[in-house]
Amino acid sequence: EAQVTQNPRYLITVTGKKLTVTCSQNMNHEYMSWYRQDPGLGLRQIYYSMNVEVTDKGDVPEGYKVSRKEKRNFPLILESPSPNQTSLYFCASSLRTGGRIAFFGQGTRLTVV
Amino acid sequence: GENVEQHPSTLSVQEGDSAVIKCTYSDSASNYFPWYKQELGKGPQLIIDIRSNVGEKKDQRIAVTLNKTAKHFSLHITETQPEDSAVYFCAAAAGNKLTFGGGTRVLVKP
């Protein structure tokens, strides 16, 4: 089954404790991206990757890091989480760039206290 | 950068009636406009999309229209059913960037 898998689904952490949210897709897609969803703001892009070892900033990259060492994986790293990073995070993938994102993960609800 | 505004933020309709959600965008370079449906506890799901060389597209009970001159596009759902209740997002894409609207929570009352 074609899917984008995120882990964990829920995470509560403390300020400053480094964390990683994993994302994996099984469709051999080139394009992957991370979004955060906040009430009334829709989904805002954090980072995206057009292929292995190619990443670029989205609209709200501050406080986040990503890596793309393998085509299927695109982890999101928060080196020093802060309460304003409490949000619902989605990973997404598509065959190629150009906007058409057909596959989103189930989401990771992160709370930073 | 691109700015996408979506209205209304909430929409309540009676089952069987039509629902219309409207979006405007600012970047004339945007050329692809997808719509997503997000059910509770799930990720957004692509339901329909339209490219800038097309004015209208229909898929069963849903249709999208695009007015490039005015920079606005709309989602129309006819004969609404309770399972249409969800949050709907519009988006506009220019190159590698996809910018989302703020979302519309649709409630279909039986």
Provide DSSP, B42-99: S--EEEEEEETT-SEEEETTEEEEEETTTTEEEEEE-S--GGG-EEEEEEEEETTEEE
Prior bond to A81 cis, omega within 30? Answer: no
Could you tell me which of B20, B8, B18, B24 has the C-alpha nearest to residue B91? B24
Binary contact (B103, A100; C-beta < 8 A): no
Q: Looking at this protein, which amino acid is placed at residue A64?
A: Y
pLDDT recorded at residue A98: 61
pLDDT recorded at residue A99: 61
d(CA A65, CA A47): 8
* Mean pLDDT on B81-99: 91
Split at pLDDT 50, 70, 90, the class of B107 is very high
Binary contact (A40, B103; C-beta < 8 A): yes
Cβ distance A68 to A49 under 8 Å? Answer: yes
Residue whose tokens read 């020093």: A80
Phi/psi region, residue B16 (left: phi>0; alpha: psi -120 to 50; beta: rest), is left
Could you tell me which of A91, A7, A32 has the C-alpha nearest to residue B43? A91
Mutation target for A interface from B98, B99, B104: give the one with most A CBs within 10 A: B98
pLDDT recorded at residue A40: 81
Residues of chain A whose pLDDT is less than 70? 97-99
Nearest CB to A106 within list B1, B6, B43: B43
Residue whose tokens read 């051999």: A28
d(CA B73, CA B19): 14
Overall residue count recorded for chain A in this entry: 113
pLDDT recorded at residue A46: 95
Number of Cβ pairs < 8 A linking chain A and chain B: 65
Split at pLDDT 50, 70, 90, the class of B46 is very high
Mean pLDDT, chain B, whole residue set:
94
In chain B, the residue whose alpha carbon lies closest to the alpha carbon of A101 is B46
Strands B19-25 and A42-51: unpaired
Nearest CB to A42 within list B42, B45, B101: B101
Nearest CB to B43 within list A42, A50, A90: A90
Enumerate residues 7 to 46 of chain B having a beta carbon within 8 A of any beta carbon in chain A: 9, 32, 34, 36, 41-46
pLDDT tens-digit map of B50-67: 988 889 999 999 999 999
Between the CA of residue B67 and those of A47, B36, B54, B74, what are the distances in Å? 30, 19, 9, 9
From chain B, pick out residues whose CB is under 8 angstroms from the CB of A35. Answer: 100
Binary contact (B44, A99; C-beta < 8 A): no
d(CA B58, CA B28): 23
d(CA A69, CA A52): 6
Residue whose tokens read 């945007």: B30
Burial category of A82 from C-beta neighbours within 10 Å (exposed 0-12, middle 13-18, buried 19 and up) = exposed
